[in-house]
Amino acid sequence: MSTNLAKAQSETSLNQNLKVEPKTSTFNRGETENSAWDFSKSVPVAKYSPKALENTLEEKHGRYDFDRYYPRKGTQSFVNIYIGLNNYLQDGDLPSSDELFTLNPLTSWYAALNFDHATRILGPLYLDWGIGASIQDLSFENTRVEVVVDRVNQSVDFVERMDRVGKKSKINMMHLNVHMVPTFSFGKYNSFRIGAGVYAGYRISSHTKYKYDDLNGDGQKDKFKDSLYINPFKYGLRAQMGWSSFDIFFNYDISELFEEEANAPRLNPVTFGVIF
């Protein structure tokens, strides 16, 4: 389960539904009216043992119902932040270093803000689902590369500009996304969890950005807003696992980056990151 399940608190609902008999000391009531104000007399004192409470909860509700990081029933909601790195695969492998569209994964960032939910299905099985917005940078390793869109030939070309000193060249995309990931949790408290599922997204914006120094040494920045023949819809597989409040995720786009009718490399984006 994602950080959703690591954050879920179910002790409150359990304590309200479970009656635990406290141990009490003896009460010796005095004979006089003033004895009610005599603090030397012993009074009832509830003695709750956290361990005893835990054991009682497990006896009455079972192993999976008592877990402060998971809802015993129903759904809990959270706001999560995703941070990761991007790359893409060509025919199942990373592009070779001599390809102009090869990415620098350390500067190809992924960031997302999600409204996520955790719904208990049965026993240790939960459904992690949610909706959110993401931003992806595909930053090229060769900073001289400029992305050129040819509408006549319906092509996306990667051109190396030898007349410029490249500083940074990238494609930026923004998507609205949904995901559904069945997840198993093993144990309780800071438990290990693992899940696999699917996601889909709709592109709401895209552009290229190219920073360089011209022949005079002056810094320039070109920004081109366009669809870039990027697929308007994407879908793929997602895997995630976590322990305590730490979770990692991996996204693989089954859909290709560029539209099928475009003359462009056949690339499948992948993203690896953490969830906060």
Rounded Cα gap, residues 143 and 114, in angstroms: 32
Rounded Cα gap, residues 148 and 203, in angstroms: 20
Rounded Cα gap, residues 99 and 91, in angstroms: 14
Neighbours of 39 (CB within 10 A): 6
Domains and CATH numbers, the chain: 75-275 (2.40.160)
Neighbours of 33 (CB within 10 A): 7
pLDDT at 18: 47
Task: Classify the C-alpha dihedral 96-101-105-111 as positive or negative.
Answer: negative
Indicate the residue type of 257. L
Q: Is 228 left (phi over 0), alpha (psi -120 to 50) or beta?
A: left
Q: Is 244 left (phi over 0), alpha (psi -120 to 50) or beta?
A: left
Rounded Cα gap, residues 166 and 188, in angstroms: 52
pLDDT at 111: 99
Indicate the residue type of 276. F
pTM, 2 dp: 0.75
Rounded Cα gap, residues 49 and 28, in angstroms: 24
Q: Are 206 and 257 in contact (CB under 8 A)?
A: no
pLDDT at 105: 95
State the chain's maximal CA–CA distance in angstroms.
104
Q: Block means of pLDDT (10 residues each) for the chain, length 276 residues?
A: 50 44 46 47 49 54 44 83 98 95 98 96 93 98 97 96 95 99 79 95 98 93 97 98 91 98 98 96
Indicate the residue type of 65. D
What DSSP string runs through the chain? --HHHHH---HHHHHHH---PPB-------SSGGGGG-TTS-----B--HHHHHHHHHHHH-TTT--TTS-SSSEEEEEEEEEEEEEEEBTTBPPPTTSTT-B-TTT-EEEEEEEEEEEEEETTEEEEEEEEEEEEEEEBSSTTEEEEEETTTTEEEEEE-TTSEEEEEEEEEEEEEEEEEEEEEESSSS-EEEEEEEEEEEEEEEEEEEEEE-TTS-EEEEEEES-TTB-SEEEEEEEEEEETTEEEEEEEESS-SB-TTSBS---EEEEEEEE-
